[in-house]
Amino acid sequence: MKAVFPPPDELDFQTDERDWGAVKLLLDEFEEELSERRSALLYRLSVWKMAVRILKRAAVEKMVLREPCRRDHDYHRSSLAYLKGAGRVLEQELKRHTEVDPSNIGITWDDFAAMVEELECQDREWYGDMKPEMREKLLSELCLA
């Protein structure tokens, strides 16, 4: 009987230590804190900040410096969407709690808002659905083609 192996990109995923595991761990931690609402807003903010940092590092390794496989795209897309949404939720919560100052964990309100906005840019860059004709039309209108 002929052996059936998974496609090479699946094997890459399983054997590469620098994988999405760290991002997943931090997202799980964030999720747990969120569902149990057991800790301070600043703690969640610092976990979010760390998760964004690790996601970026993983994305450079897996998506920028190498040709990403489908599984990389799946992990990247879902982590990015999750962190973007969680960032918006934190933004709302921070607005309500005037006594909570993110500068206590080394980030100003403006820097935090800029981080959330940057995730929005990344999401559009990787997963926007602009058609190539539209892209060309738009860039030529702006004299960037």
Partner 1 sequence: MPEPPNILQQYLAARYDYDTCDEPFKSQARVKFEAIVEQIIRGSYVSRLQLVEALSERYRVYQRGRKADERRRQR
| Binding flag, residue 133, partner 1 (CB under 8 A) | no
Burial per residue of 97-110, b for 16 or more beta-carbon CB atoms within 10 angstroms, e otherwise:
eeeeebeeeebeee
- Secondary structure letter of residue 45 according to DSSP: H
Through-space distance between the first and last CA atoms of the chain, rounded to whole angstroms: 55
Least distance (Å) between residue 61 CB and partner 1: 10
Count Cα neighbours of 85 within 13 Å in the Cβ-side half-sphere: 10
Q: In whole angstroms, what is the distance from residue 38 CA to residue 19 CA?
A: 29
Stretch that binds partner 1, among 14-22, 36-44, 87-95, 110-118 (CB under 8 A): 110-118
| Binding flag, residue 6, partner 1 (CB under 8 A) | no
Least distance (Å) between residue 79 CB and partner 1: 16
Contacts of 10 (CB under 8 A, 6+ apart): 71
Stretch that binds partner 1, among 26-34, 73-81, 87-95, 136-144 (CB under 8 A): 136-144
| Binding flag, residue 82, partner 1 (CB under 8 A) | no
Stretch that binds partner 1, among 16-24, 35-43, 58-66, 90-98 (CB under 8 A): 58-66
* Cβ 86 vs Cβ 31: under 8 Å: no
Q: Which residues bind partner 1 (CB under 8 A)?
A: 49, 56, 60, 64-65, 106-108, 110-115, 117-118, 120-122, 124-126, 128, 130, 134-135, 138-139, 141-142, 144
